[in-house]
Amino acid sequence: MTVVADTKVGEVRLELSDISVNFGGVKALQNVSLQARAGQVTGLIGPNGAGKSTLLAVASGIQRPNSGTVRLEDQDVTGARPQVYAHARMARTFQAPQLVPDLDVRQHLVLALRSNDHKPGSALKSAFGKRITTDEFEKTEQLLAELGLAEVAANGASELPLGTRRLVEVAQCLACDSRTLLLDEPTAGLSRAETAVFSDLVVRVCHDRNIAVVIVEHDIDLVLDISSRVFVLDFGQLIDEGDPGHIRSSKKVQAAYLGTMEADLDV
Ligand SMILES: Nc1ncnc2c1ncn2[C@@H]1O[C@H](COP(=O)(O)OP(=O)(O)O)[C@@H](O)[C@H]1O
Ligand SMILES: [Mg+2]
């Protein structure tokens, strides 16, 4: 396991300050601030259309904010190209896993190891001219074991159930040595058992590797179970933040969810 020794648990890795994003007349985000800390899971919740995915897009350099700043690893990266974010060891997963159907699980991890811009899948074409080296084999062995993927190492990505494909994506982020990991609705479409495996694993790698994890989830109970701190968006604004106990009893949060869905809040 690659424990990153040069950062302390609890230090701020990602700091979004006063972020605003407008899409034409739509104020998708208004003055939103969020911090994500090393070795902690940070939850981001809010009803549909609240701005969660837009905030992750800003945090990963895909969406440039109209105002506000993004600091990553104590560096101002506002407006920089996504590659700069990747070099600052930021990675994100997408709701639909971005895997290559013809490659097996180990090959996906080798791809990630060989990518030099820390974006899973980006080394694509060049990667398979070369044989897998002993060093690469050992690194992938270790990752496969860590994520419980050893048994499917030789299976093609397209044969795998969705829950396993999501784990492969996380394994790719770890192969890139990512230290800040953004997960947008990673348990959408997973069975209860797959969700349990996935969330246990996220918590474990977050702690073992001192990674700052930001998770956007529809499943509020899951977020409240695994997060140290939770941020709540509604109509593009941060309406509350705090530890799970605070969020569970927040009247503002309950009001935001009323009428949008049967509130999953277990209060
Ligand atoms: N590319 C875009 N162009 C125009 N409007 C957008 C775009 N992306 C998001 N929006 C709007 O911004 C708001 C926030 O969307 P989003 O961040 O996807 O919310 P969430 O992830 O919380 O469901 C919504 O009103 C959505 O319709
Ligand atoms: Mg979304």
What separation in Å is there between the alpha carbon of 96 and the centre of ligand 1? 17
CATH architecture of 8-89+216-261: 3-Layer(aba) Sandwich (3.40)
Cα distances (angstroms) measured from residue 180 to each of 44, 138, 210, 235, 240: 15, 24, 9, 26, 23
54 alpha carbon, distance to own chain's centre: 13
41-83 pLDDT tens trace: 999 999 999 999 999 999 999 999 999 999 999 899 999 988 8
What separation in Å is there between the alpha carbon of 8 and the centre of ligand 2? 31
Q: Would the CB of 51 count as within 6 Å of ligand 1?
A: yes
What is the pLDDT tens value at each position of the chain, 267 positions in all? 444 445 678 899 999 999 999 999 999 999 999 999 999 999 999 999 999 999 999 999 999 999 999 999 989 999 998 888 888 888 988 767 778 888 899 999 998 888 754 445 444 545 565 788 888 899 999 999 999 999 999 999 888 999 999 999 999 999 988 999 999 999 999 999 999 999 999 999 999 999 999 999 988 999 999 999 999 999 999 999 999 999 999 999 999 987 555 445 544
For a ligand 1 pocket test, name from 21, 26, 184 the mutation site with the most ligand atoms within 8 angstroms of its C-beta: 26
- Tell me which residue has its CA closest to atom 16 in ligand 1: 51
